[in-house]
Amino acid sequence: MTEQTPQEDGTTWQAQEPPPSGLATGFIVFAGVMMIMVGSFQAFAGLVGLFENEFYVKTPEYLLQLDATSWGWIHLLLGLLVAFAGFAVLNGMVWGRVVGVALAGLSAFANFAFLPYYPFWSVLIIAVDVFVIWALTAHGRDITR
């Protein structure tokens, strides 16, 4: 927060805000890079689901019973959106942070539903999504300065 204080000659000066901490900026840069990487990997997993239907093993009797092609489209589109939002976060865009939090939450939900098909991958992506949400909400403002 800056304050304007009148000087003796009638002009005003603004106090400088302290620079953001390196740790906070590092968290945001790491979150942006992880969004780009996870989005790219998720898009790649979507392409695998589209081109090789037999790669993912379907488990019986699960809540969301989608075929590999449907999951491929979901992961491809969601991955591309997450990667695009990651570039926006690295550029300091406010809308990138908002979209990033929303897409990371949606990505975590999609990977939770994808657990029976590829459990280790899904748990790993959920953990990264939780970190990204924390970094964007706790330290998101620090990269825009």
Q: What range does the domain containing 127 cover? A: 42-53+64-145
Check residue 140 and give its pLDDT: 65
In a domain, 36, yes or no: no
In a domain, 33, yes or no: no
Q: How many domains would you assign to the chain? A: 1
Q: 145 pLDDT band (50/70/90 cuts)?
A: very low
Structure tokens given for 89: 């976060």
In a domain, 34, yes or no: no
Check residue 17 and give its pLDDT: 66
Structure tokens given for 38: 């996870």
In a domain, 28, yes or no: no
51-68 pLDDT, tens per residue? 876 666 666 666 566 677
The letter for the amino acid at 57 is V
In a domain, 5, yes or no: no
In a domain, 35, yes or no: no
CA 91/CA 24 separation, integer angstroms: 15
What DSSP letter does each residue of 66-98 carry, written as one string? --HHHHHHHHHHHHHHHHHHHHHHHTT-HHHHH
Instruction: Give the Cβ contact number of residue 111 at 10 Å.
Output: 26
In a domain, 74, yes or no: yes
Structure tokens given for 143: 């990269």
In a domain, 17, yes or no: no
